[in-house]
Structure 1
């Protein structure tokens, strides 16, 4: 009991010091607002981390464009650690209420928050050194000139497994199931070890019916297709025709006798045939299952994780090119068919 009282006393003195530091810098934030923000993250980060606004400004050189790493995102070094800071003037209460309920290696970690009297909020996250999956799949013209700037087959499979694990955790392993509802390549970040992490929980919300998780599953299937093809989910041709990637794959696989040959032409040319053909067919089959029109027919994330785990284990880290001219389309190909968990 004495130890507990000492801890409470220490916490109180820390809060008083923080309050004093605000007053010295003429911030003196509204107490009710502070309590709301603190209560929103205290359970998640273990303790209330309120960064000083001046520290945020110093770490980002007053929000200098050179520190910008995305829309309203800034790279900063604080306490010797490289972090990512998001600036927003929107209400972050809902986002914080979600973040306090999740803690997973494949979800971006919230380190703390800051705000000012003008209504700006600053959310401080761990930094993902290799940027977004979007930058890797669809680099700009300058980056695309670098032949080394692309993901190998093994990296793509393991990245897919990573964000499948993150979604599976949100759907099935939180006290109340949560859906992300904005599953796309720009919200998948890649760290220095090419581990994928989900970011941007602005649209995440608790599950209220059985159809809600299936929306995430569909979007996940589209992401698999982007990883497989190197194409965007939706593209517009020169004649103005809009092509939906998941429908495009169905056309590719429509004629069974020609499906293998057509799939090879459809797969991302950056891979240069350095991938296991049976693995590519399995991934295409899984993506097709995830993007079925009937939402209830789509697999659960548990089933998706199981299938991707099998693919990851069977995918070698290094691949040699195979000759498409020698490959017979009527050869026997082992395909991992999506399975159901019981």
Structure 2
């Protein structure tokens, strides 16, 4: 558009000198009444002075036209050259910046995935299921010593979890699922789909999978200290779990849940949060596992979700009315928090046909400052600040409220726990060591 305007102006300038040169001719040819004789007129027509003046006028006009044309062409060439240089510069710069951003992005991905891929040195990958590596069945057989009972780490609704050792002494966990029913196949597909899209320090890492006949296998990173359930209710009866370690486990679980609820798009409801699905690594860092029953907000709104979960952890509104929200996970988290405090199972048998809910039993005592210390797990009794104990009990009480709207968001729970966990364990609590008269060392907070 600018070039078109420029040429129009140029055309106008080129026309103007011709008009100026024609002006004297028009004035001469115009009728003027004057007493001029025919002789003088004829003399004027052939006068050398008048002829020279006309030629000089035309020469001057041509010079002007030439100058204007040269200036116009020079200006146009300079403009085009400038625009061309600017275009080349901008294209080169944007290409460099784009290349740089791609390289940075690739570098970040490489750094993030480097630990992941180093685990595959001895894994024979035979294909892919989506973005998940498919591992050779014979290799899993060998790694688990043909699925020996001595390698069983735990047992779930659809099968067992085995400890496996690959060729370069890499230890992993292998979940074996018997998928003879649609439910088993659905859980397998669901877990693979969700975990392949998830990467968080407090979510179990998926390493691969395997399909063999009607059996499905999921390979995870190995968590050396097993599940929270085994640590609390197994042979050790929670002796390895100090007060601060328990608070760290609760904080890790809350961080994993917050990631699912607040940072996944669409948000994910775990739907089967319990102590057996909270796994502990060699440093007792906790990670959420078993996503077979997990659903997204979009999926659960279709109202075709089958009622599932574990007795004692299932929220009352979900159990009675089938209403499932992120507050259902918050209820289950509250039950886990009570397990950490009291060292009791969510449901305990009193008689062959009689069971007792931990929540129902503990609720009246959790809000009584004088009774609370008496129901704490004996393994940690008198090892914590009473004020901190009351704060954790108050959080647990809020989480297990029968009315979902009274329960806090998991983000609020997370922020309530952070000040109760020592700095070296990922919280903000500053802990000093105090030495009582008996010589034992107890933590005291500042």
- Scaled by the length of structure 2, the TM-score of the pair is 0.58
Structure 1 counterpart of 2:279: 189
Shift of 1:233: 1.2
2:326 to 213, 218, 224: 213
Match of 2:162 among 61, 74, 77: 74
CA RMSD of superposed structures (Å): 2.7
Query: What corresponds to 2:249 in structure 1?
Result: 159
Question: Do structure 1's residue 293 and structure 2's residue 402 form an aligned pair?
Answer: yes
Point out where structure 1 has 5 or more consecutive residues left out of the alignment: 1-19, 23-33, 43-47, 324-333, 335-342
User: Structure 2 vs 1, CA of residues 81 and 281 (structure 1 numbering), >3 Å: closer, same or farther?
Assistant: same
* 1:125 aligns to 2:220 (yes or no): yes
User: How far apart in 2 are the matches of 1:178 and 1:246?
Assistant: 25
User: Is 1:314 the counterpart of 2:421 in the alignment?
Assistant: no
| Residue from 110, 127, 136 that aligns with 2:206 | 110
1:303 counterpart residue number:
412
Q: Does 1:275 align with 2:384?
A: yes
Instruction: State how far apart, in whole Å, the 1-side matches of 2:436 and 2:361 are.
Output: 25
* Residue in structure 1 matched with residue 129 of structure 2 by the alignment: 38
Counterpart of 1:30?
none
CA distance in 1, matches of 2:151, 2:337: 31
Q: Deviations over 1:191-227 (max 9, x none)?
A: 0011001111111010246951000000100110110
Which residue number corresponds to residue 234 of structure 1? 347
> Using the alignment, how far apart are the partners of 1:286 and 1:86 within structure 2?
34
Contiguous gaps of at least 5 residues in structure 2: 1-123, 180-184, 302-322, 422-427, 439-444
Structure number having the greater helix percentage: 2
Give the match for residue 177 of structure 1. 267
Number of residue pairs matched by the alignment: 276
Contact 1:84–1:125 under 8 Å retained in 2:
yes
1:97 equivalenced with 2:189 (yes/no) = no
**Counterpart in the other structure of 1:16:** none
Residues 180 and 317 of structure 1, relative CA distance in 2, 3 Å threshold: farther
Deviations 1:75-119, CA, capped at 9 Å, x for gaps: 111243110001113212222221122111111101001122x22
User: Which structure is richer in relative contact order (CA contacts within 8 A, separation 6 or more)?
Assistant: 1
Q: Offset at 1:319?
A: 7.3
Alpha-carbon offset, residue 182 of structure 1: 0.5
Measure how far apart 1:243 and its partner are.
Answer: 2.7
Which one of 143, 155, 171 corresponds to residue 59 of structure 1? 143
CA 1:320/1:305 → structure 2, altered by over 3 Å: closer, same or farther?
A: farther
